[in-house]
Amino acid sequence: MKDKYRYSTSQLFNFAQNSYLERTSRPIYAVVFLLPFIVFYELGTILINTDLLKHYWQGRVVAFSWVQEFFVYIGLGSKFAWVATPLAVVVILMSLQLASRKSWRFRPGDVWPMVVECIFLAVPLIVLSMFLNGSVQHQDDIGQLVHTATSCSSVTNDGSPTMMERNGDDGKWQGLVANIITGIGAGIYEELIFRLILICVLMLLFQDLLQFSHKNSIIFSVLASAALFSAHHHIVYLGGQFIQNSPFNLTEFVFRTIAGVYFAVLFAIRGFGITAGAHGFYDIITAVYIFFARQ
C-alpha cells in the first residue's frame, strides 16, 4: 500500500487531460521550453566578451559546477564534462518523460503562454524582496539589497566573489548581460540540484529510510531543501573546499529560504519546466531592475 504514496518527480496535481496545465507540466515540455535557455547560457558564458570573461567574470553558476565536477570525478575530461552537464538536464527530463508514459506531443503555441506564466510567477518573489527591504530609503540601496538577497550563487576560479561590472557604459551593459546569463543558468541548474534531485533524495531519506509519514516527509524535504538552497548562497563547496560566497545576513537567508519553499511548491504543482523558467525570469527581472535603478 505504501507505493501509492511514493513521491514522484512529476507534478502532484492531476490536471484535466490534455489541458494547458497538464501539457506544460510534462517533462517533454520542460526539455523543449528550456533548451533555448540552456544553449543561450552555454554560448553566453563563452561569447559574451572574451576579455570580460577572462578578467572580470570568470565564474559559473555553482550548481552547474557541481554537476561538471561530478562528471570529472567519474572520469570524464573537463571538456567532455562541460558538454555532459547540459546534456544531463536533457537526459534526466527525457527519462522522466519515458517513465511518465505521457503524450510526447508538443504544441508550439504553448511556448508564449509559458513565458507569460513564468514572468507572472516571478512577481510574488519580487514583491516579497521589496517588502523585506521596504525600510531602505534610497533606490540604489534597495537595488543592492534586492541583488544580494536574490542573486544566484557564482564564484570565480580562485574562489573569490564574482565581479560583473566594469567602468564605463560598455562595461555596465556587459555586466547586465552577464547577470542575465548567470540568472538563466541559476534557474536551470539550481532547480535541477535543489528541487528535482535533492527533494527526491530527501524523500527517500525521510520516507523510506527513516519511515516518516508521507506528509511529514514532504514537509521536511521541502524545508530542508529550501534551507540548503539558501545556505549555499553564503557558503559553497567547490573544488574540494568550502568557500564563503557572501557574509551571512538573516534577511537574505530568510528570503532565499522562502523562495526555496515557493519553488518547491511550484515544482510539485507545475513541474520542472515552469519552475526553472520562473526562477530564471525572476533573476532576469532583478538584474534589469538593478541596472536601471543605478542609472
Domain extent listing, the chain: 16-100+111-293
Q: Give the mean model confidence (pLDDT) for residues 268-286.
A: 94
Confidence category of residue 235, pLDDT binned at 50, 70, 90: confident
Most confident of 16-25, 90-99, 166-175, 227-236: 90-99
Is pLDDT above 90 for 267?
Answer: yes
22: which 3 cell numbers?
Answer: 497538464
Is pLDDT above 60 for 33?
Answer: yes
Is pLDDT above 90 for 165?
Answer: no
Q: Give the mean model confidence (pLDDT) for residues 90-107.
A: 93
Q: How high does pLDDT run on average in the chain?
A: 80
Confidence at residue 6, expressed as pLDDT on a 0 to 100 scale: 46
Higher pLDDT, 236 or 192: 192
Is pLDDT above 80 for 85?
Answer: yes
Confidence at residue 60, expressed as pLDDT on a 0 to 100 scale: 63
Is pLDDT above 60 for 150?
Answer: no
Confidence at residue 34, expressed as pLDDT on a 0 to 100 scale: 97
Is pLDDT above 90 for 3?
Answer: no
Q: Give the mean model confidence (pLDDT) for residues 141-162.
A: 42
Is pLDDT above 70 for 53?
Answer: no
